[in-house]
Structure 1
Amino acid sequence: MAELERVQAAVARAEAELRQASETVRSRDRAVEVTVGHQGELTALRFLEGKYLGMTAGDLAASVLEAAELARTRMSRQVMETFEPFTRPSTGVSELTGVDVDWADIFGPAVTEERSAGPARGGRGGLHDEINDDDPDGDLEEDHRG
């Protein structure tokens, strides 16, 4: 019982921690910045330095979607990392086998892809093709808050 109570308390702490978590990402072209909450919900959208003024509607939409997709994926991974210890069997109580979670089913397949891989291209027609990639490393800027 003590092990079960310890796990329940740890889950409650993890849930409380995640309720305060957010992920902020800038698009590759640095025209927009999005913040998502712990459930992947968009909580903030900023247009940076007037760059959006010279963009087509398609370019701006692609920048917003690109940053939002990556922010959601990163937030999903933070949730996965937080709850990963509860997926392992207990070393002290053999009956506590850990929770079997299909993260890809919950968050979508992007969450299980390699972290070094950039955001997925394609899947949105030609919008991504119009984004100017001024980030030589292929990484979007990020800011972990929460």
Structure 2
Amino acid sequence: MTAPLHNQIEQAYAEFARQRDALTAISDESDRAETTVTSKNRAVAVTVNGRSAVTSIKFPTSAYRTMPAAELGNLIVETIETARTRASAEAMERYRSVLPDAFATMDPREGGLDIEAMFSRAARMMNDDRLDDILNGRGGGRHE
């Protein structure tokens, strides 16, 4: 292997390692994250974790006591969905800084963010695209 090719491969691997470390840090942050949403009428407050799982449902006021059961049930479901949507958006913002657009559109509520799968996909992309570019003399620049 020629020295320039070897250097470009080492640079690509170093970039991959930096992104892996950044993703691990973001994943750890997501594990600690919480999002709380309170319904408009303040009858229900729902907290979800960084993976959009419900961790708490509270009733900050006594308004829920006078609500018909179906209305309260619908309000709880609506508040949970709002909290999950907000948590998902917050998670995507955390990941957006280090992930290509294809990964940034993933929904963590649909099976969770699989960091290992993302690394595998990134390695395949690097092998398919970046290494092909290097080997074909098109440089080793980052694909946008």
Counterparts in 2 of 1:6 and 1:105: CA distance versus 1, 3 Å: closer
Residue 16 (structure 1) aligns with:
28
TM, length-normalised to structure 1: 0.60
Q: 2:68 aligns with which of 49, 56, 81?
A: 56
**Aligned-pair CA distance for 1:68:** 0.6
TM, length-normalised to structure 2: 0.61
Residue 34 (structure 1) aligns with:
46
4+ residue runs of structure 1 moved beyond 6 angstroms? none
1:25 matched to 2:27? The reply is no
Q: 1:71 aligns with which of 59, 64, 83?
A: 83
More helix by share: 2
Larger radius of gyration: 2
Q: Which runs of 5+ in 2 are unaligned?
A: 1-12, 111-144
Number of residue-to-residue matches in the alignment = 98
- Give me the whole-angstrom Cα distance separating, in 2, the residues matched to 1:106 and 1:80: 8
Instruction: Give the 5 Å matches for 1:1-146.
Output: 1-88=13-100, 100-101=102-103, 103=105, 107=109
Percent of aligned positions with the same letter in both sequences? 32
Which one scores higher on RCO, CA 8 angstroms, separation ≥ 6?
Answer: 1
**Aligned-pair CA distance for 1:107:** 4.4
Q: CA RMSD in A?
A: 2.0
Q: Which runs of 5+ in 1 are unaligned?
A: 89-98, 109-146
CA deviations 1:33-90 (Å, max 9, x no partner) are 00011111110000122111111001111211111111000000011111112333xx
